[in-house]
Amino acid sequence: MRAGEADPAEGVARSGGAVLDGITLYFVRHGETDWNADRRLQGVTDVPLNATGRAQAQRNAERLAETEPDWSRFAIAVSPLSRARQTYRIIAEHLGLPREPACDERLLEGSFGRWEGKSWNELVAEEPEAHALFVGDPWANAPHGGETYGDLAVRVADWAAGLTQDTLVVSHGGVSRVLRKLYLDLAPSELLGLPVRQDRILRFRGGAVEIL
């Protein structure tokens, strides 16, 4: 959910569970928005891409074209928020995919409730105890009126369980983290340390996640 964390190793190779079993999935986080640039929490607030975000989407489109020769065999799943749909359309134009994506509300970003629009620095100053609870255990603790990562995992797992073919998904940082937690059987304490870069692609395949 947060942008700008330091990246760990470029890819993880742990034994995965049953989530996405036998499926190759390419995960693209939406490009940057002005709120990302200001380090403001977006959640389900509908903020469009900025110029940097459009350039990131174009970079990812070109990388996808280099990676797979035939995208017509992939299912498509996109968050309904405009920043994800705009990112997908840039990718679709480059790959020759349908312009209008198949949107799924289960791929929405986790809600930050009344924290949306605020920066992390503002939250530390205004609500230090609530902020500390969330950062200390985001799996179990939610922002005011928002979702825990555990809540988010329920709907992401439900979505993933219905996949029957290789898939291209365009969604959000929080969804990306939860999907990796489920796929790689990570501890909840590892969630916030996972990178959520907007100029890279995650490939889930064979029990490992690669950063492309």
Q: Is 30 among the catalytic positions?
A: yes
Annotated catalytic residue, options 30, 116, 131, 147: 30
Coil, helix or strand at residue 194: coil
Please state, in angstroms and rounded to a whole number, the distance separating the CA atoms of residues 44 and 154. Answer: 17
Spatial separation of the C-alpha atoms in residues 121 and 89, rounded to whole Å: 33
Which among 109, 131, 147, 172 is annotated as catalytic? 109
C-alpha–C-alpha distance, residues 109 and 33, integer Å: 14
Two tokens at 184?
């790689």
User: What sections of the chain are H helices per DSSP?
Assistant: 34-37, 51-67, 82-95, 120-126, 128-136, 149-161, 173-184
- For residues 201 and 63, is the Cβ–Cβ distance under 8 A? yes
Known catalytic residues are 30, 109
